[in-house]
A and B are shown apart, each in its own frame.
Chain A
Amino acid sequence: MQSVGSNGEGTARAANSGPFPVLSATGVSRRFGGNRAVDGMSLDLHAGEIVGLIGPNGAGKTTFFSLIAGSLKPDAGEIRLKGERIERQPAARRLSMGLGRTFQIPRPFAGMSILDNVMAAAQNQTGESILRNFLQPGRVRAEERAARERAKALIDFVTLGHLVDQPARVLSGGQRKLLELARVMMAEPAVILLDEPAAGVNPALLDVIIDRIVEINRMGVSILLIEHNMDMIARLCGRIVVMASGRELAAGTPAQIMANREVTEAYLGEVLPEGST
């Protein structure tokens, strides 16, 4: 596999997180009218961990993700990234602080090439200022060269190297998920929020996605994963947090969670004793 950690910053970020969890949410709530979508939810993610966030439909998982990612603002609670409070930071700032996300339904820039899709995620680019494009052309060119190299390596890493100049609209659903992985990795995050990476993906591509997630984690990136595919959760996650009705219902290892009666009931309804009607 090609090296995609250009400066190992992701690893360094994770290793430097010290005694704090790299990501920590405490008492986070969000209400929509009379509905408490997230109700005092807390969760810690430690450096190098992959934590699975599961729960039945409507449990508030994606809302909780959106609160952490910044596309929604919490009504209450605090969210810390590497010890720093971020719940009032705009969504656009959180990636440069080290927090990336992917979407349940992938959102590629369909009319742009796959290379441009990934390069668009490069952070702190001098060439994103109108004036500096003309005042510091040499620096802009050098950064662009470096970004292009890194983007190409990431595109190879997610096995889309043969499509690098194609517009993203030609990609299948699973390939779009891979593109999102490459795009978020371009920003060298310390934490990635993955929203249902297996949804709608054919089984052959699913193995590639799982393999890439494992590799990304080995680079030192901590991952919080929403997923309904329990096989994938069991293969990837050392710890699982179960949400129901906007709150934490249970937490533990995959084996503990699968044996938990409350969790089964949350998914399937109350389990009646044998022989009852």
Chain B
Amino acid sequence: MSLELLAYCAFFLTVALTYAVIVLGLNVQWGQTGLFNVGVAGFVAVGAYASALLTSPPVEGRLGGFELPIVIGWLGAFVASGVLSALIGWMTIRLRADYLAISTFGIAVTIQLAVLNLEGVTGGPFGISLIPRPFGELAGQSLAFSLANLALLVAVVFGLYLMLQHLARSPWGRVLRAIREDEVAAEALGKSPRRFRIEAFALGGAIMGLGGAAQAHFIGFIAPENYLPMLTFQVWAMLIVGGSGNNRGAILGALLVWALWAASSAVVEALAPAGEQARAASLQTVIIGVALCAILLFRPQGLLPEPGSARRRLPFLHRWRGTPAATTGSERT
């Protein structure tokens, strides 16, 4: 294997693992708790911008630029996104699944528009550049740089995986599953569904923010168009393909869907005429959409289902198929 190919593989895996972090966050919210968050891109954006502002060099006329160490930036991203998620959770968590989806979608669009227009804070449409990259001193050596970043992301994903597995097996995780299965019964057993759902929403959002920060620092530049609803769609596709409720499934889904995305990009580039490349790029979305439909139809529990649990489907699929939802309880509008 040539060094260039090895470097590309390391680059590919690193990007896929940044998505894996975000998908793990969504798995806490949807996979374990049944919270239908359709505003993933917004929470990722908050983490990315928080870390970028804390760690990038100062720019005249723009807030931030504190040149703090990257680890502080990542912690800041985790906290900023977690606090925002807790606040949004506190306001919206009582909503029924589809209303929660509409609210979180609206919040994500609001965040994206805010970063687009708050030029004095976020750089507006020009974004933030010169975000320090981990192992930046190796940037001249493509392979070493890619492998070092890959090792870092492997460590982050592995650490998160262990933490989330520990929580899933803990009494906290057991209460989340109980609330997801039957909110009324869980409440009768002395568990406050509101408290646990807000905690899960905040933790999931914080992890998404960390994923956003990892992406921002790996690429070195962020702009508002990175956080369009397409990102939410990709992350959901990854979780559904991999298997919601299963942390290993979340990581596998991120790797597979990102591979499909990268491969389809290469195929489109190879097959589409030069003048049609931009339009043909939309086919990537179509390919991911078709893969998603195939999984939902033929293996709705994903490639690695949640161990020992009943199948769950997304709210729109219950209506379409006329089946009862597995997420029950007295959710209110």
Contacts and interface: CB of A to CB of B under 8 A. Distances in A.
A71 B172 contact: no
Interface stretch (A90-98, A216-224, A259-267): A90-98
Given A130-B203, A133-B166, A111 B189 contact: no
B310 A169 contact: yes
Nearest to B329: A107
Q: What size tier do the contact residues of chain B reach?
A: 20 to 34
A85 B98 CA distance: 37
Contacts of B184: 71, 107
Contact of A93 (B167, B174, B190, B193): B190
B299 interface: no
A101 B184 CA distance: 11
B178 interface: yes
Q: Chain B CB within 10 Å — which of A95, A119, A130 has the most?
A: A130
B151 to A, nearest CB: 24
A112 B181 contact: yes
Interface string A119-149: 1111101111110011000001001100100
A109 B171 contact: no
A224 to B, nearest CB: 15
A187 interface: yes
Nearest to B172: A128
Contacts of A119: 171, 174
A30 interface: no
Chain A interface: which size bin? 35 or more
B326 to A, nearest CB: 7
Interface centre among B174, B309, B310 (most CB of A within 10 A): B174
A40 interface: no
Task: Give the residue among B181, B185, B190, B308 with the most A Cβ atoms within 10 A.
Answer: B190
A133 B167 contact: yes
Nearest to A141: B170
Given A95-B190, A96-B190, A120 B170 contact: no
Interface in B277-310: 308-310
B177 interface: yes
B24 interface: no
Given A111-B177, A130-B203, A169-B310, A144 B187 contact: no
9 contacts: A93-B190, A95-B188, A109-B181, A109-B185, A111-B309, A117-B178, A133-B166, A133-B170, A167-B308
